[in-house]
Amino acid sequence: MQNVFVNHVQARLEENPVPFPNTHALLGDDGGLSRPCLDFLAWNRCLFSSKLAKPALEKYVKIHVESLTRIIQAMALVKNENSQPAEVLESSLHVIDGDIVQAIQSLKETKPDQDSELGDQLRNLITSLENYKRGPDGWDSDDAEYPFSRSERQTKDALAAIFPGSITPSAARSRPYQFPRIFNGLWQLSSPAWGCSGAKRQEEELIRLVQAGFTATDMADHYGDAELVYGTFRNRLSPSIRSQVLAATKWCVFSLPTEPITTEFVLEKVKERYRRLGGRIELLQFHWHDYSSKEYLNVLVELVRLTAIYPNLVSTIGLCNFDSEHTVEVCEYLIAKTGSVGLVSNQIQFSVLDSRPLHLMVNVCAKYGLKLLTYGSLCGGFLSSHWLNQPDPDIYADSADLTPSQRKYHDMIINWGTWQDFQDLLGVLSTIAQEHGVSLANVAVRWVLQQPSVGAVIVGTRLGVSSHVEDNLATFHFCLSDWDMDRINAVALCTHRARTKRLFGSLGDCGAEYRGGPRQPDSE
């Protein structure tokens, strides 16, 4: 009996199609959608609910997608002519949004073949939705004013699923936030060796940081419970503040995955981090240990596509500890596969002691539009007045009372020069700091911030153990003059950047120290 009824409904719908109204007849006298337009949408709604066979369903979905695209285009014209549409029209737009979601879902469930006509129709619909959002002045509408968020996500998801490689994320896609130039760093949560504090004191320090304007925090999937700490804190904030508190975390691949690199595999890895943060990842940074295994290229393609399909899951993608050669490789591969670079950053070590990025990396970033997010810019606290006129510590002695960061960065000092050379550099930094009325650490951070292609510096935060909020704020109260930079560079880099070149030769390019030291370029 059910089959008879379904067949009857299908026949009636197909025998009595409701025509698409003329463009000039889309709106009624009340400012909302006209009766012919509403009847057309209702007919399609019934059609997609009537369990049509795959060939018929695919045919009608294509027709409906084309019609909905025309409706969106017409609505964009109305919106541009009248920035305050009638309330009844706003309600109708949400109906159209739901209709698009339903139609595209029906399409996805049929698992259609890669028909070029269908691909063009989906792209046209996405373009029309993006144009509606953008408006006449070229700027994207506020998210709260955009009625087709669901439609856009659903259509992009369908396009990516049916036509892998077709999504081209917009490099200029606007975001409702802006990354600050100093990030809080939570590496210190990976070990109690930096000191311990309770959840209450950790949260109090995070509140102080946010109140001071330090609204972005860098962490990783292997920094202890950093993602959980930050996610819990962020979700306790009011919605208006929470939306401006930004999370940068990482997906670090230290050994080759045993599973095939698929969209589903990559999506699940993103969801793991989203779950621990309890919300959106504003910047997901990708690290891949073994350059000889090229799977990282397709992983990055999938990650970039996900930012277009699931912007509320992950907003932007960056690299972590990629060297110049492989940053170029990745960018060129992404351009070939997606039409744009799609990345925003590379996180690397950069300081007055480790100036290797000046050798190649800053130019690579300038070419591809990436920003450097730098760590180690204070060398674990060695670049502070505390170490001025102090003897070289025995890093293995308990009496030295060094943190894991300081043990790590002591090696960088020795690679850069002698302890006396280091004292000479601290002396120059101290003199310049006194001239500006700031701390030595402020000058060290400022030097990095004023280097080409640097977007932000990560300053480690020992939550609830120590606080440097006020001192970090002073970084923005001054700029280093050319004379200041020349005096620092004379010691830090030496003539013709001799120290930079020597470090590059002994340690290798950025991140090489984590992969066994200097390496030869790939032969392929």
Q: What are the residue ranges of CATH 3.20.20.100 in the chain?
A: 183-514
Does domain 183-514 fall under CATH 3.20.20.100? My reply is yes
Least confidently predicted of 131-145, 270-284, 298-312, 488-502: 131-145
Has this prediction a pTM greater than 0.75? Answer: no
- Could you report the per-residue pLDDT of 168-199, keeping only the tens digit for each? 443 334 454 678 899 998 876 755 554 555 67
Classify burial at 20, counting beta carbons within 10 Å of its beta carbon; exposed 0-12, middle 13-18, buried 19 or more: buried
Q: Kindly state the average pLDDT of the residues 475-503.
A: 94
Least confidently predicted of 127-136, 229-238, 464-473: 127-136
The confidence score (pLDDT) of residue 465 equals: 58
- Could you report the per-residue pLDDT of 197-229, keeping only the tens digit for each? 567 778 888 888 888 888 899 999 887 778 888
Record the tokens describing residue 181, joined without a space.
């130039």
Amino acid at 230: Y
- Split at pLDDT 50, 70, 90, the class of 88 is low
Closest C-alpha to 305, from 156, 176, 174, 178: 156
Q: What is the C-alpha separation between 280 and 314, in angstroms, rounded?
A: 6
Give strand pairing partners of 291: none
18 neighbors 39 (Cβ within 8 angstroms): yes
Residues 6 or more apart in contact with residue 445 via CB below 8 angstroms: 182, 377, 378, 457, 459, 472, 475
